[in-house]
């Protein structure tokens, strides 16, 4: 299946490499969720302006994440609490799941189509594209916001991410 890239975004933005990630409510330990939200919102805003998408379009829009690793910063905070025999703060358990950042994007933009989060083996953008193509080819979605991430290992080093909005050109 031939996919078309309707629009794309990356983080850090090429025109502002020193840009700061946005604050995302309930995600304050790590830059993982803000990284995903920033690149996803930039991509969607470029194509659609402001949220939310019309309900019929949101229902046919898949959201895909392929990352080279999970949220190392939050996982380290959880590991440290467990090793120190301290109670793990509940917000850490929430934000440690990669799909919660996607859930934030879904809620803001009205994306109610399929949601897939996976660990990429190799090129994360290729993995995100492959998953997006599958969802569109099977008829589960008409378009897919595919996010590829190579997250950093500290809040000061958030990593990089790319988002592509894929269609077949018929949306």
- The model's pLDDT over 72-113, given as tens digits with 9 standing for 90+, comes to 887 888 888 899 999 988 887 877 788 889 999 999 999 999
H/E segment holding residue 130 = helix 124-137
Give me the domain span that covers residue 115: 4-10+29-167
User: CA 35, 37, 41, 43: dihedral to nearest 10 degrees?
Assistant: 50
In a domain, 73, yes or no: yes
In a domain, 105, yes or no: yes
Work out the percent of the chain whose per-residue pLDDT is above 70. 99
Overall average pLDDT of the 156-161 stretch: 90
Give the rounded distance of the alpha carbon of 129 from its chain centre. 13
In a domain, 41, yes or no: yes
H/E segment holding residue 62 = strand 61-67
Give the number of domains in the chain: 1
* Domain at 132, CATH number: 3.40.47.10
In a domain, 19, yes or no: no
In a domain, 45, yes or no: yes
The yes-or-no verdict on residue 171 having pLDDT over 60 is no
Supply the pLDDT for residue 53: 97
Question: Whole-angstrom Cα distance, residue 122 to residue 23?
Answer: 29
Supply the pLDDT for residue 77: 81
**In the beta sheet, which residues pair with residue 11?**
161
Q: If you write DSSP's letter for every residue of 91-119 in order, what string do you get?
A: HHHHHTSTHHHHHHHHHHHT--S-EEEEE
SS3 153: strand
Supply the pLDDT for residue 138: 96
The yes-or-no verdict on residue 17 having pLDDT over 60 is yes
pTM assigned to the model? 0.92
In a domain, 139, yes or no: yes
């Amino acid at each position: 299946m031939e996919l078309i890239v309707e629009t794309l975004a990356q983080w850090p933005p090429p025109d502002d490499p020193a840009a700061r990630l946005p604050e995302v409510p309930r995600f304050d330990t790590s830059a993982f969720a803000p990284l995903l939200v920033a690149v996803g919102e930039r991509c969607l805003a470029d194509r659609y302006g402001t949220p939310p998408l019309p309900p019929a379009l949101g229902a046919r829009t898949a959201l895909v994440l392929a990352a080279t690793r999970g949220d190392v910063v939050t996982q380290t905070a959880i590991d440290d609490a467990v090793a120190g025999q301290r109670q793990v703060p509940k917000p850490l358990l929430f934000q440690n799941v990669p799909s919660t950042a996607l859930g934030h994007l879904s809620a803001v933009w009205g994306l109610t189509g399929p949601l897939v989060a996976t660990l990429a083996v190799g090129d994360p953008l290729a993995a995100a594209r492959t998953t997006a193509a599958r969802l569109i080819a099977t008829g589960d979605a008409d378009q897919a916001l595919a996010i590829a991430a190579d997250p950093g290992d500290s809040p000061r080093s958030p990593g990089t991410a790319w988002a592509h909005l894929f269609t077949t050109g018929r949306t």
